[in-house]
Structure 1
Amino acid sequence: MKRAIFTAAAAFVLLGAGAAGLTAWPIGEKPALAELEGNADRGAYLARMSGCIACHTNAEGGGAPLAGGLALKTDFGTFYSPNLTTDENYGIGSWTPEIFAKAIRQGVSPDGTPYYPAFPYPFYSKFSDQDIADLWAAFQTVPAVAEPSKPQEMQFPFSYRPGLKLWRAMFLGPEPFKPEKGKSEQWNRGKFIVEGPAHCGACHTPRNALGARQAELKLHGADSLPDGGKSPPITADELLDKGWTVNSLKYALKTGILPDGDAFGGSMGEVVRDGTSFLADEDLTAIATYLLDPDKPDAN
Structure 2
Amino acid sequence: MANRLIALLMGATAVAVASTIAIVFWPIGNPPELKQLEGNAKRGAYLARMSGCIACHTDGENGGAALAGGVELDTDFGTFYSPNLTQSAEHGLGEWTIDEFAKAVRQGVSPDGEPYYPSFPYPFYAKMPDQDIADLWAAFQTVPAVDEPSVPHAMKFPFNFRPGLKLWRAAFVDFSTFEPDETQSDIWNRGKYIVRGPAHCGACHTPRNFAGARKASFDLQGANKLPTGGKTPAIHATALKKKGWTQSALAYALKSGVKPDGDVFGGSMVEVVHDGTSFLAPKDLEAISIYLLGETDVATQ
The TM-score, its normalising length taken from structure 1, stands at: 0.97
Matched, 1:230 2:231: yes
1:100–1:202: structure 2 CA closer, same or farther, 3 Å change rule?
same
Maintained 8 Å contact 2:127/2:176: yes
1:53 and 1:4 mapped to 2: Cα distance? 57
1:185-200 map, 5 Å: 185-200=186-201
2:5 and 2:147 mapped to 1: Cα distance? 53
Residue in 2 aligned with 1:284? 285
1:296 and 1:46 mapped to 2: Cα distance? 27
Residue in 1 aligned with 2:117? 116
Amino acid at match of 1:233: A
Deviation at 1:295, TM superposition (A): 5.8
Q: Deviations over 1:222-270 (max 9, x none)?
A: 0111121100000100001111001110111011011111110110111
Matched, 1:169 2:170: yes
1:59-208 map, 5 Å: 59-208=60-209
**Equivalent position SS for 1:73:** strand
1:297 and 1:266 mapped to 2: Cα distance? 27
Maintained 8 Å contact 2:246/2:298: no
Deviation at 1:298, TM superposition (A): 4.5
Matched, 1:8 2:9: yes
2:146 and 2:9 mapped to 1: Cα distance? 49
1:179 and 1:34 mapped to 2: Cα distance? 26
Residue in 1 aligned with 2:42? 41
2:41 and 2:140 mapped to 1: Cα distance? 8
1:297 and 1:64 mapped to 2: Cα distance? 43
1:90 and 1:103 mapped to 2: Cα distance? 16
Residue in 2 aligned with 1:245? 246
- Aligned-residue sequence identity (percent) comes to 63
1:182 and 1:289 mapped to 2: Cα distance? 14
Deviation at 1:5, TM superposition (A): 3.2
Residue in 1 aligned with 2:18? 17
Deviation at 1:34, TM superposition (A): 6.0
Long gaps (5+) in structure 2: none
Amino acid at match of 2:146: V
Maintained 8 Å contact 2:223/2:231: yes
Deviation at 1:16, TM superposition (A): 1.3
Using the TM superposition, name which of 2-11 and 237-246 deviates more: 2-11
Deviation at 1:160, TM superposition (A): 0.5
1:202 and 1:217 mapped to 2: Cα distance? 12
Maintained 8 Å contact 1:34/1:129: no
Deviation at 1:10, TM superposition (A): 2.4
1:42 and 1:190 mapped to 2: Cα distance? 17
Q: Deviations over 1:120-162 (max 9, x none)?
A: 0000011111101100000000000111111111111111000
Matched, 1:26 2:27: yes
2:129 and 2:15 mapped to 1: Cα distance? 42
**Equivalent position SS for 1:133:** helix
Maintained 8 Å contact 1:71/1:78: yes
Amino acid at match of 1:39: N
1:242-281 map, 5 Å: 242-281=243-282
Q: Deviations over 1:70-107 (max 9, x none)?
A: 10001111000000000011001000000000000000
Deviation at 1:32, TM superposition (A): 2.3
Deviation at 1:178, TM superposition (A): 1.5
Long gaps (5+) in structure 1: none
1:160 and 1:212 mapped to 2: Cα distance? 17
